[in-house]
Amino acid sequence: MLNSPGLIPCPGCGVLMQAAIFPALFRNSAPGASGESLTTDDDASCFYHTGKKAVIPCDACGRFLCALCDVAFNDQHLCPSCLEKGTRKCKIKNLENHRILYDRLAFYLAIIPMLFIFPSIITSPMALFITIRHWKSPGSIVQHSRVRFVLAAILASLQIIGWLAVLYFGIIH
């Protein structure tokens, strides 16, 4: 039944199924580091586990960490608290859990107000500013094109020129 080439009926319910078992199921996995217990009072203890021996300080805050609390990341040793703060405050760039797509924002600021005309007097300079300010900001993880930035800049510039022409000819005539 296991690792068979085709579908086989389940002995309990009769539904056709195929089960693929990988060799890792039968391998003994190495236990995770649990941290050594303190043997003498002279040893430094972990900040989070007072009964565990400290093996390394946190590179961000300097707290002593046991083997259980040590998180090796980007050639640094961090404590769980600093890792969480780095994720929440976006201090650790490789731990992004969201990303603002400024190219999309600038494009929408240039396109959508064109439907209503009057909001474009405010949004077109905003779109141009976002395009210039965030040109080098990281874009989408899967798409690395700056086409939306270029289109937003062109549309925003045309809208600004149009508003300047309306104001110029409206005041003169």
Average pLDDT over residues 132-148: 85
- Confidence tier at 142 by pLDDT (50, 70, 90): confident
Domain span at residue 133 reads 102-167
The answer as to whether 127 is a domain residue is yes
The answer as to whether 146 is a domain residue is yes
The answer as to whether 156 is a domain residue is yes
- Residue labelled with tokens 């961090």: 78
Q: 136, 130 in Cβ contact below 8 A?
A: no
The answer as to whether 10 is a domain residue is no
The answer as to whether 64 is a domain residue is no
* pLDDT beyond 90 at 123: yes
The pLDDT tens digits of the residues spanning 84-115 come to 888 777 677 677 667 888 999 999 999 999 88
Determine the 3-state secondary structure of 39 from DSSP. Answer: coil
The answer as to whether 114 is a domain residue is yes
* pLDDT beyond 70 at 156: yes
Structurally, the chain folds into a number of domains equal to: 1
Of 67, 2, 3, 81, nearest to 38 by C-alpha is 67
CA–CA dist 99, 23 (Å, integer): 38
CA–CA dist 107, 103 (Å, integer): 6
Tokens standing for 17? Answer: 């199924």
The answer as to whether 85 is a domain residue is no
Q: At residue 5, what are phi and psi to the nearest 5 degrees?
A: -70, -25
The answer as to whether 76 is a domain residue is no
